[in-house]
Amino acid sequence: MTIRRTHLKITLLVIAASVCASAAAYQPEGRVECIAPADPGGGWDFTCRNAGNVLEDLELVSGSVQTINMAGAGGGVAYAHTVSKRAGDSDLLVAASTSTITRLAQGQFPGMTADMVTWIGTIGADYGVLAVARDSPYQTLPELMEALQEDPRAVKFAGGSAKGGWDHLKLLIAANKAGIDELPRISYLSYNNGTDAITQVVGGHVDAFTGDISEARGFMESGDLNVLAILSPERLPGHFSDIPTAQEQGIDAIGANWRGFYMPADISEEASAYWTDAINTLYASQQWQDVMERSGLMPYHYSGPEFRELVTTQINEIEALSRELGMMNQ
Check residue 25 and give its pLDDT.
Answer: 81
Residue-level pLDDT at 6: 40
CA distance 52 to 254: 29
Give pLDDT, residue 164.
87
**Host H or E run for residue 120:** strand 117-133
In this prediction, residue 24 carries a pLDDT of 53
Residue 21 has pLDDT above 70, yes or no: no
Mean pLDDT across the chain:
91
Residue 231 clears pLDDT 50, i.e. is over it:
yes
Reported as a single tens digit per residue, the pLDDT across 108-150 is: 999 999 999 999 999 999 999 999 999 999 999 999 999 999 9
- Report which of 243, 93, 74 is spatially closest to residue 169, judged by C-alpha positions: 74
Q: What is the pTM of this model?
A: 0.82
The domains found in the chain, sorted by start residue, are 2-126+256-324 (3.40.190.150), 129-249 (3.40.190.10)
Residue 4 has pLDDT above 50, yes or no: no
106 — pLDDT class (breaks 50, 70, 90): very high
pLDDT at 200 over 90: yes
Helices 43-57, 269-284: axis angle to 10 degrees equals 90
Residue scoring higher pLDDT (283 or 217): 283
Question: Does pLDDT of 173 surpass 50?
Answer: yes
Banded model confidence at residue 22, pLDDT cuts 50, 70, 90? very low
What is the DSSP track for 201-264?
A: HHTTSSSEEEEEHHHHHHHHHTTSEEEEEE-SSS--SGGGTTSPBSGGGT-----EEEEEEEEE
Position 329 pLDDT exceeds 70: no
Tens-digit pLDDT profile for residues 35-68: 999 999 888 999 999 999 999 999 999 999 999 9
Distances 91 to 37, 119, 170, 298 between C-alpha atoms, Å: 17, 14, 33, 27
The count of other CB atoms within 10 Å of the CB of residue 96 is 28
131 neighbors 244 (Cβ within 8 angstroms): no
pLDDT on residue 193: 87
43-57 helix and 286-295 helix, angle to the nearest 10 degrees:
160
Percent of the chain with pLDDT over 70: 92
Residue (of 245, 241, 261) closest to 311 by Cα position: 261
Q: What would the pLDDT profile of 174-187 be if each residue is shown by its tens digit?
A: 999 999 989 999 99
Taking a C-beta distance cutoff of 8 angstroms, is the pair 281, 54 a contact?
no
Q: Where are the alpha helices (DSSP H) in the chain?
A: 2-23, 43-57, 76-85, 98-105, 141-150, 166-177, 194-202, 213-221, 269-284, 286-295, 304-324
- CA 235, CA 245: separation in Å to the nearest integer? 6
Give the pLDDT band (50/70/90) at residue 327.
confident
Give mean pLDDT, residues 227-246. 94
Q: What's the pLDDT score for residue 318?
A: 93
Rounded to whole angstroms, the Cα distance separating 104 from 80 reads 12
Quick one: CA dihedral 289, 294, 298, 302, positive or negative?
A: negative
By CB neighbour count within 10 A (0-12 exposed, 13-18 middle, 19+ buried), where does 24 fall? exposed
Say if residue 206's pLDDT is above 50.
Answer: yes
Average pLDDT over residues 86-112: 96
Q: In this prediction, what percent of the chain has a pLDDT beyond 90?
A: 81
Q: Give the pLDDT band of residue 1 (cuts 50, 70, 90).
A: very low
Which residues does 5 contact at the CB level (< 8 Å), separation at least 6? 286
| Distance, CA of 68 to CA of 80 (rounded, Å) | 15
Residue 315 Cα to chain centre, angstroms:
15
Determine the pLDDT at residue 7: 46
